[in-house]
Structure 1
């Protein structure tokens, strides 16, 4: 009898965890990160590197997103990032919006995932506003707290490029790794 109850409980748990990332479900999520990073900065003019150095950066970012499971374990979402950062003594704010794809690698309640995103927006520093492009490649683990909610821990490589609107040959690029913590809801 005890074995039958255990088998029944495991069956219910596996069915409910499968439904969390099932095709046709909706997703609402958000993450944030507070980071202190050493990252590479590169300033290029007409393809020639003018500056290539490592700097210390501190930043705070919030990233709300909405999405839809196009297939089992495959999430397509629209993500928005708002970041306030300080590089040495310079403060900037950045807004980026764009698509993101996430693939969950498991049907259990602990789901490793891989993700890729690209976004477009702008960066503001004092009175200067410049167009920005960014992409992220990463992964992590979603810990499902229930059928409808997960706590997400992620790590990713981030690359962003700012282009001078007055001279498109001038580009400023930063790249590095970032960690984030998020909370997601599934409907």
Structure 2
């Protein structure tokens, strides 16, 4: 919803969505600027939420300031997920080590204990299980991992001492429960 393609007819897009029966939306951010616009959009509209993250292709453009601002956005009730984020080694837009380091720097956001994480089940997961408590597979066999809420971690960006050596082509979004935000906006 924050793409420039919607700039001239955003209201019409929301209107058509409502006419089609869409009652809630989450707009997915792909970089810091997008996350800031998405958070503004979510704050201004009922039944609209946003995410904060950096797409793995843009990982090379991230800085310590980017990570700090994303963590700040994730504290807002209207920002309900980490995303877009993950590891994408199919294209050579950012080195795998840079993608892993950014993923580890953003991931310290702590969802509530009952919050799911979505991950691509096509390949074995190594990054998430290494840092998460795994849960039983969801219906259909998709992989779910949930982190226990132990308080925020503070990992530096870029990390001292380099990155983990394991290759882990995992794409992940973590969704947290925002019952207080939902209850005030869905009634």
Q: TM-score range by the shorter chain?
A: under 0.3
> Which TM-score applies when normalising by structure 2?
0.21
Larger-Rg structure = 1
Greater share of helix? 2
Greater share of strand? 1
